Chain A
Amino acid sequence: EPEVTQTPSHQVTQMGQEVILRCVPISNHLYFYWYRQILGQKVEFLVSFYNNEISEKSEIFDDQFSVERPDGSNFTLKIRSTKLEDSAMYFCASTLRDRGNYGYTFGSGTRLTVV
């Protein structure tokens, strides 16, 4: 069964450093998402992406965050200057279409630890 692949599985970074989280969505999917989950808290929406542009973003997704689909297969989330409170699991998801007919396929996540 097709999978959404996320790398790395765990990243430790120093506060103030830039990090790039990588995702390879399912190949024929068209809609892409990033979510995050701080330990013990809810899964929170960050951003959705379609047709090479952001469709929707949450209040969390401020100027420190950016997304990119650089080569038609990878989908990346960049955090420019990490803060301690960015420590969380980050999940990438994709779906074939976004008309209520298809569920999302999530990756297994990247655990980001900011020290």
Chain B
Amino acid sequence: DAKTTQPPSMDCAEGRAANLPCNHSTISGNEYVYWYRQIHSQGPQYIIHGLKNNETNEMASLIITEDRKSSTLILPHATLRDTAVYYCIVRVARANAGKSTFGDGTTLTVKP
């Protein structure tokens, strides 16, 4: 699976949009981009995923560049409860195997 690079930490003001970047320059054509977050020591929580089109759900939006070498997770109106470690993961689509490899992620701190 392709390697991802994320900034170690970011701050965001409460109520503002949080834009979390991820670089995955070696991504291959059959690899999806997934985003998870981990609040304190809880289990990771799936947020969103995409292949090449931009995606939106009730939690966030995912913007993938046309060349697919980078993406941005957008939390449109960050709240204090969005303070967490955010992981960008690239994973091949495979029928019966496959793991998600978690890196160091980005620690997002939402400030009042």
Contacts and interface: CB of A to CB of B under 8 A. Distances in A.
How many chain B residues sit at the interface, stated as a range, is 20 to 34
Contacts of A98: 94-98
Interface string B31-52: 1101010100111111111010
Nearest to B103: A42
A48 B42 contact: no
Contacts of B45: 106
Interface stretch (A13-21, A49-57, A77-85): A49-57
Contact of B51 (A55, A89, A100): A100
Interface of A: 4, 31, 33, 35, 37, 42-45, 48, 50-51, 55-56, 58, 89, 91, 93, 98-101, 103-109, 111
21 contacts: A4-B43, A35-B102, A37-B41, A43-B44, A44-B102, A45-B101, A48-B97, A55-B97, A58-B99, A91-B44, A93-B44, A98-B94, A98-B95, A99-B93, A99-B94, A104-B36, A104-B44, A106-B45, A106-B46, A108-B42, A111-B41
Given A103-B47, A108-B42, A111-B41, 5 more contacts: A48-B98, A91-B44, A100-B31, A103-B46, A106-B44
